[in-house]
Amino acid sequence: MLETIKKPIVLIGLGVLSLVAVLLYFSFNPENGLLFPKCPVHRYMGVYCSGCGSQRAIHDLLHLRIGDAISHNMLLLPALFVLIQHGLVKTKVLKSKSFLNYRYAPIIVLIIVLLFMFLRNLKMYPFVYLAP
Amino acid sequence: MENNQNMPPKPNNYMVLAILSTIFCCIATGIASIIYASKVNEHYARGEYEAAQTASKNAKMWGLIGIGAAALIWIVYFVFFGLAIFGSLANAGNY
């Protein structure tokens, strides 16, 4: 079932790439560097998308600053949690069902992503905290 | 009327790709991918296996477009700016 297992080269490549990415995101702060590309949606359309701030959030997470990570992108942590749980189920480490395999999972993700994108662009009091 | 016992297993809806593409690239490809993922589930639940398979292919395509675009942006960006930054760091020798 797990297609990627059949392609060890792809898997090793992805592993090396992620390692390089983790090292880069650990060593450099995307906040004050030119090293990382800015979000194209924010750059060209002027709005925050649901992924905006995730690079900074990854940097924060790698330095164990959970609060900063949440303030830069509230959805990154839950997203990572869901992806890791999915990975653990797929590799049979966990016996439970992957959250992503539920019938309404895509719809729920869609609603959360769109709602988050809408709310974080509001320039009103409680919602300004959602902006990256 | 087909019943679920005779159905082949559900086609992959590529939600992982969809989420990765939403986070790291472009909201548009991510959302397209999520919508096709939900179509996979709905068609499959109604027993429309062929339609589910088509939606699965579309979900995969949009997910991969998103990841590919993100990779492309990163590589192009890094080639243009990253090398220059590393060059200046090496010249400055500030440690």
Q: Are B49 and B8 in contact (CB under 8 A)?
A: yes
Alpha helices, DSSP H, located in B25-82: 27-45, 49-77
Query: Is B26 inside any structural domain?
Result: yes
Domain assignment present for residue B1? The answer is no
Residue type, B50: E
Please report whether residue B58 resides in a domain.
Answer: yes
Closest residue, chain A, to B44 (C-alpha): A103
Element (H, E) at A85: helix A76-90
Torsion of Cα atoms, B77 then A11 then A2 then B59, to 10°: 10
The interface predicted TM-score of the complex, written ipTM, equals 0.76
Residue A62: the pLDDT is: 92
Selection from A42, A44, A75 nearest residue A58 by Cα? A75
Residue B84 within a domain: yes
In a domain, B2, yes or no: no
Give the count of domains, chain B: 1
Decide if B6 is inside a domain: no
Mark out chain B residues that contact chain A at CB-CB < 8 A.
Answer: 9, 13, 15-16, 18-20, 22-27, 30-31, 34-35, 37-38, 40-42, 45, 73-74, 77-78, 81-82, 85
- Is the distance from CB of A106 to CB of B24 less than 8 angstroms? no
Is pLDDT of B94 > 70?
A: no
Q: How do the domains of chain A map onto residue ranges? A: 29-130
Q: Print the domain residue range for B62.
A: 11-92
Q: Give mean pLDDT, residues A5-16.
A: 79
**B5, part of any domain:** no
Looking at the domain assignment, is residue B18 inside a domain? yes
Q: What three-state secondary structure class fits A76?
A: helix
Please tell me if residue A78 touches chain B, with a CB cutoff of 8 Å: no
Tens digits of residue pLDDT in A29-61 = 887 766 777 777 887 888 888 888 888 899 999
pLDDT of residue B92: 60
